[in-house]
Amino acid sequence: HFFEDILADKVVLLFQYNVTGHSFEHAGEGASRLKATLQRLGLHPQIVRRVAIATYEAEMNLIIYTEGGSIRVRVEPNEIFVVVKDSGPGIPDIEKVLQPGYSTAPEWVRELGFGAGMGLCNINRCATKMDLRSTVGKGTQLSIRISIEDEVNSESS
């Protein structure tokens, strides 16, 4: 494990991926790059999988619904924090968008095979904790926490 080789009182790795809205030709690139990076760090495959799925779903939401935004990832020895931010259009009803199958995706997005209304549900399933905050006309912030210790502890039991 990468962190075991570092001699410091606190170790934090930061990664940022910028996402351009409506750029389907680059869809998933940030999530793929993050996945490769986490694999190189030697993180448990299940943790890498959970982070990759959550980040991909969030990246697709940025591409489908916004002009773009950022995905910031903070990797610590016991947890991974992902913060996804955009600057609009915002979500009017957060409770509704968290319901499985609920989608506001336009028809042309659905024709591309996206917009089934499962993205946020998939993120929540992968996360140890998820928080979604949004202001209409100002933007959205999605925070995802994935505990690395959960996977390590479940394997040792």
Signed CA dihedral, 119, 120, 121, 125: sign only: positive
Which pLDDT band holds residue 5 (cuts at 50, 70, 90)? confident
For 81-93, the pLDDT digits (tens) are 999 999 989 999 9
Which pLDDT band holds residue 4 (cuts at 50, 70, 90)? confident
End-to-end CA distance of the chain: 19
How many CA within 13 A on the CB side of residue 74?
12
CB 132 within 8 A of CB 120: yes
For 99-157, the pLDDT digits (tens) are 999 999 989 899 988 899 999 999 999 999 999 999 999 999 999 999 998 665 555 54
What pLDDT does 157 receive? 47
The answer, yes or no, to whether residue 18 has pLDDT greater than 50, is yes
Distance CA 42, CA 40 (A): 5
b/e map of 8-23 (b: 16 or more CB within 10 Å)? eeeeebeeebebeeee
Which pLDDT band holds residue 55 (cuts at 50, 70, 90)? very high
The answer, yes or no, to whether residue 28 has pLDDT greater than 70, is yes
What pLDDT does 1 receive? 66
